[in-house]
């Protein structure tokens, strides 16, 4: 579960990004398929591999697939009044999960093999997700320990505003309004296309197809920073942040006299 919140033994939270490496695609695919067949207790000793570098990886890393994938989505170009900004390829197995987050992109998501499971929260539920600035970290190889990865914190990097409340663990790291959240759950099957609006919180997991993995392609379109949507999002966030402040208003004064505690006398 890279790109996720990891709680340390001392209770400190880290936002941990994945270890990235390159390897022949055939070896990667064989690993992903084989990994799906192991017993649960064996899986825990194996790293999770996921082709998910994003940032327009389909035309650059997987260009041989381009003849089989539309370069853009016609209705999205018309509705959003712009061509796509990035086109991404995703391949992994059922062990790959992306923690709850939001993107400032309009997203058209196409499932090709297997299933994708989305847990969705609209931007108005910012008060429910207990968003906090969290220290960045990354998985790195543990020297001398084979394929083992360890977490390395980046203390110098700017903290990442990150949702720390997970709708699938509703009693962990709750905010004052988490109980009011009403998550939407959507499953995409092979051949389904899904529009995910910008700034919606989404957690994503997947189920394998018969081939032992799941594949998807998505198209990102820049969101509009004009009009009321962006301003409204900013306003809601400011309201939530102000609500977190513990303000000491001092003693209540009425009629020119201090209100004493306990006895009710003046």
Spatial contact of 101 and 202, defined as CB atoms under 8 Å apart: yes
Query: What secondary structure does DSSP assign to 136-189, as a single string?
Result: EEEEEE-TTSTT-EEEEE-TTSPPEEEE---TTSTTSS--TTGGG---EEEEEP
- pLDDT value at position 263? 47
- pLDDT value at position 265? 47
Spatial contact of 223 and 81, defined as CB atoms under 8 Å apart: no
What is the β-pairing status of strands 131-141 and 13-17?
parallel
- pLDDT value at position 53? 86
Whole-number Cα distances in Å, 23 to 30, 63, 124, 142, 219 = 12, 16, 41, 19, 25
Handedness of CA 51, 56, 58, 63 (dihedral sign): negative
Spatial contact of 15 and 139, defined as CB atoms under 8 Å apart: no
- Rounded to an integer, what distance in angstroms lies between the CA atom of residue 198 and that of residue 196? 7
Name the residue with tokens 């320990």: 145
- Rounded to an integer, what distance in angstroms lies between the CA atom of residue 122 and that of residue 16? 24
What is the β-pairing status of strands 160-163 and 86-92?
unpaired
Query: What secondary structure does DSSP assign to 20-75, as a single string?
Result: -----HHHHHHHHHHHTTS-HHHHTTS----B---SSHHHHH-GGGGGGS-SS-HH
Q: What is the pLDDT along the chain (266 residues), one digit of tens a residue?
A: 668 899 998 999 999 999 999 999 999 999 999 998 887 767 777 899 999 888 899 999 999 999 999 999 999 999 999 999 999 999 999 999 999 999 999 999 999 999 999 999 999 999 999 999 999 999 999 887 778 899 999 989 899 889 999 999 999 999 999 999 999 999 999 999 999 999 999 999 999 999 999 999 999 999 988 888 888 888 888 988 888 876 666 777 777 655 555 544 44
40, with CB counted inside 10 A (0-12, 13-18, 19+), is exposed
pTM for this entry: 0.87
């Amino acid at each position: 579960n890279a790109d996720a919140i990891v709680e340390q033994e001392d209770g400190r939270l880290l936002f941990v990004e994945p270890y990235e490496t390159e390897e022949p695609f055939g070896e990667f695919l064989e690993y992903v398929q084989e990994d799906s067949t192991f017993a649960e207790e064996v899986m825990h000793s194996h790293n999770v591999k996921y082709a998910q570098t994003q940032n327009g990886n389909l035309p650059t890393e997987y260009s041989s697939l381009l003849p089989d994938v539309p370069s853009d989505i016609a209705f999205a170009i018309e509705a959003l009044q712009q061509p796509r900004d990035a086109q991404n390829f995703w391949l992994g197995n059922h062990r790959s999960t992306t923690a709850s987050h939001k993107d400032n992109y309009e997203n058209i998501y196409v499932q090709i093999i297997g299933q994708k499971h989305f847990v969705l929260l609209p931007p108005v539920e910012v008060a429910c997700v207990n968003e906090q600035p969290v220290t960045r970290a990354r998985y790195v190889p543990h020297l001398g320990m084979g394929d083992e990865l360890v977490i390395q914190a980046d203390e110098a990097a700017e903290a990442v505003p990150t949702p720390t409340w997970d709708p699938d663990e509703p009693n962990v790291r709750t905010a004052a309004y988490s109980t009011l959240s009403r998550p939407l759950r959507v499953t995409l099957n092979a051949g389904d296309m899904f529009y995910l609006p910008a700034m919606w919180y989404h957690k994503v997991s997947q189920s394998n197809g018969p081939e032992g993995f799941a594949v998807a392609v998505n198209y990102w379109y820049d969101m509009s920073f004009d009009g009321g949507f962006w301003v409204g999002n900013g306003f809601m966030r400011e309201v939530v942040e102000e609500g977190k402040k513990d303000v000491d208003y001092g003693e209540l004064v009425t009629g020119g006299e201090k209100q004493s505690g306990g006895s009710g006398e003046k």
